[in-house]
């Protein structure tokens, strides 16, 4: 389920392996094993590799179609980049002390914007089922995270931004046995702790922070980025701007939409990760997993993801169904029309994939959820009223969704919301579109900007015309090669991310320019 599958940069990452790596020669290392939040476990952090701008450019050019595509989208690297790996103290979903790791990318060089203090991009990655995920390990294309690390380096670090990209608690070397998936409180703390630790590391790496902080992330990372902006604002810490991309911001509305039958692509992976995350945090999602999951899948599902076993193998082993979230038998009379839904007609085939006889979620659990949704409706789903989350849900899963719903706060610094309106995985209208409606006054005031990359340029002065045109070309090429189904499969994970990321960088650069 890792995104950017359509822009797989394995060949480019393989070329980067020639750059070398290893720890810094000489000097001493400071150790902090206190486990305190934001503690930097060793300083200076491990240097994975370093490369000059010209070398990076040559390697992208020699990295095949994927590397050349990234080079065209990101532009030629102008800065040298040092890639670091660091470990830090943070907390789990129940507040338990734990550790996590991340990538720190530091630009340098003689070109404009490469020397002196730099702005920081704090980056949140999207859903991955791979327990070994590590964005810092860009030199080994066989390792999860290499492609994303390469993209971040090209898009941000090589253009003069310091990049801080946590792997999150529950991944890589983290001793946490689960991942606090879409837990807004924990994940914002994780991001803040990674930022705190990375700032401690900067003096030893030759990096300087100029005080400008940008936050971005895609999919799960879009939710994490927005939650982090909200948390830092509440702490009185200034965020220069943020760019959440294709995130499930309105968790209560999105969850209700899915249980009402609008099953998204990837739901059978997201459901167990959410259930485990919220069970660990709140303790009331179920008494035992079989309360929520069918007997065929319940044994061991609470420890299944993330995993060192590839998701395809887990499907093949029968640990999870590929698409069938719900039973194709209505949970009770009166729910036949949403088992599965047939409206709107263009989405009926997608929704139908989520139903069958090998379903993951028990009908009794779906019925309990739906009964609560009818008694305590969300303000946006199934009908638009207040637009806000349900005020008094009784179902534990709905309570968890509302607790992690990001509606109800107002940013005080610029925000770009980016996505594609035909997203089959994180529905645009009930997430990005809904936040845009709730923030309509901020959109009018030009504090919030909304970009649908799957739309036509608004005119000659559209600042995102290039992103929209590039997306349209990529979408058409995908359709020509594999048809409409290929577009659906690639939309969320491959087509939208690179263009939203390029738009985010342009937005950040515009904010920086306007401050001068």
Tokens of 372: 């609560």
For residues 420, 421, 426, 429, the Cα torsion angle rounded to the nearest 10 degrees is 140
| Residue (of 75, 88, 223) closest to 157 by Cα position | 75
Q: 53, 110 in Cβ contact below 8 A?
A: no
One pLDDT digit (tens) per residue for the chain, 516 residues: 443 343 333 434 443 444 444 444 345 678 999 999 999 999 999 999 999 999 999 989 988 888 899 999 999 999 999 999 999 999 999 999 999 999 999 999 999 999 999 999 999 999 999 999 999 998 887 788 999 999 999 999 999 999 999 999 999 999 999 999 999 999 999 999 999 999 999 999 999 999 999 999 999 999 999 999 999 999 999 999 999 999 999 999 999 999 999 999 999 999 999 999 999 999 999 999 999 999 999 999 999 999 999 999 999 999 999 999 999 999 999 999 999 999 999 999 999 999 999 999 999 999 999 999 999 999 999 999 999 999 999 999 999 999 999 999 999 999 999 999 999 999 999 999 999 999 999 999 999 999 999 999 999 999 999 999 999 999 999 999 999 999 999 999 999 999 999 999 999 999 999 986
Cis amide leading into 468 (omega within 30): no
DSSP symbols for 298-358 = -TTGGGTSSBSS-HHHHHHTTSS-SS--EESS-SSTT-GGGSS---STTTHHHHHTTEESS
Tokens of 15: 């070329």
Assign 3-class secondary structure to 343-372.
CCCCCHHHHHCCEECCCCECHHHHHHHHHH
Contacts 24+ apart (CB under 8 A), 293-297: 293/360, 293/361, 293/362, 294/359, 294/360, 294/361, 294/362, 296/358, 297/321, 297/360
Instruction: Please tell me the total number of residues recorded for the chain in this structure.
Output: 516
Give the CA angle between residues 367, 372, 378 to the nearest 5°: 120
């Amino acid at each position: 389920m890792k995104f950017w599958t359509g822009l797989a940069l394995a060949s480019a990452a393989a070329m980067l392996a020639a750059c070398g790596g290893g720890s810094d020669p000489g000097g001493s290392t400071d150790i902090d094993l206190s486990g305190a939040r934001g503690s930097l476990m060793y300083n200076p952090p491990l240097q994975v590799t370093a490369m000059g701008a010209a070398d990076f450019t040559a390697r992208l050019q020699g990295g095949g179609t994927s590397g050349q595509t990234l080079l065209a989208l990101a532009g030629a690297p102008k800065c040298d980049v040092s890639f670091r790996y660091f470990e830090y103290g943070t907390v789990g979903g129940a507040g338990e002390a734990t550790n996590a790791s991340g990538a720190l990318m530091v630009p340098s060089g003689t070109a404009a914007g490469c020397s002196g203090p730099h702005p920081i991009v704090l980056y949140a990655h999207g859903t991955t089922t791979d327990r070994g995920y590590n964005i810092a390990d860009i030199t080994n294309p066989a390792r999860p995270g290499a492609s994303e690390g390469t993209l971040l380096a090209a898009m941000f670090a090589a253009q003069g931004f310091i990049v801080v990209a946590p792997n999150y608690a529950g991944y890589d070397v983290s001793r946490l046995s689960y991942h606090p998936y879409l837990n807004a409180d924990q994940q914002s703390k994780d991001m803040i702790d990674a930022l705190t630790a990375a700032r401690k590391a900067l003096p030893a790496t030759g990096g300087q922070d100029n005080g400008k902080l940008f936050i971005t992330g895609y999919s799960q990372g879009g939710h994490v980025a927005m939650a982090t902006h909200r948390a830092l604002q509440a702490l009185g810490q200034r965020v220069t701007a943020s760019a959440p991309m294709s995130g499930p911001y309105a968790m209560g509305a999105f969850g209700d939409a899915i249980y009402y039958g609008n099953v998204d692509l990837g739901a059978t992976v997201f459901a167990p990760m959410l259930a485990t995350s919220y069970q660990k945090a709140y303790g009331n999602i179920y008494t035992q997993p079989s309360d929520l999951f069918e007997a065929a899948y319940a044994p061991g599902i609470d420890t299944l993801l993330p995993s060192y076993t590839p998701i395809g193998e887990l499907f093949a082993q029968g640990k999870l169904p590929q698409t069938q979230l719900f039973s194709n038998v209505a949970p009770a009379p009166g729910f036949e029309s949403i088992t599965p839904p047939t409206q709107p007609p263009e989405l009926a085939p997608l929704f139908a994939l989520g139903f069958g006889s090998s379903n993951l979620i028990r009908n009794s659990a779906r019925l309990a959820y739906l009964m609560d949704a009818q008694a305590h409706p969300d303000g946006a789903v199934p009908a638009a009223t207040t637009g806000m989350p349900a005020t008094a849900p009784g179902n534990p899963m709905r309570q968890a969704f509302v607790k992690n719903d990001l509606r109800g706060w107002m940013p005080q610094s610029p925000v770009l919301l980016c996505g594609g309106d035909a997203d089959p995985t994180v529905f645009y209208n009930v997430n990005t579109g809904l936040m845009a409606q709730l923030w309509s006054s901020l959109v009018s005031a030009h504090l919030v900007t909304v970009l649908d990359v799957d739309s036509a340029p608004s005119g000659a002065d559209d600042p995102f015309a290039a992103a929209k045109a590039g997306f349209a070309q990529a979408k058409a090429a995908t359709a020509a090669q594999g048809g409409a189904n290929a577009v659906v499969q690639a939309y969320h994970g491959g087509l939208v991310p690179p263009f939203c990321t390029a738009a985010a960088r342009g937005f950040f650069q515009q904010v920086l320019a306007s401050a001068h």
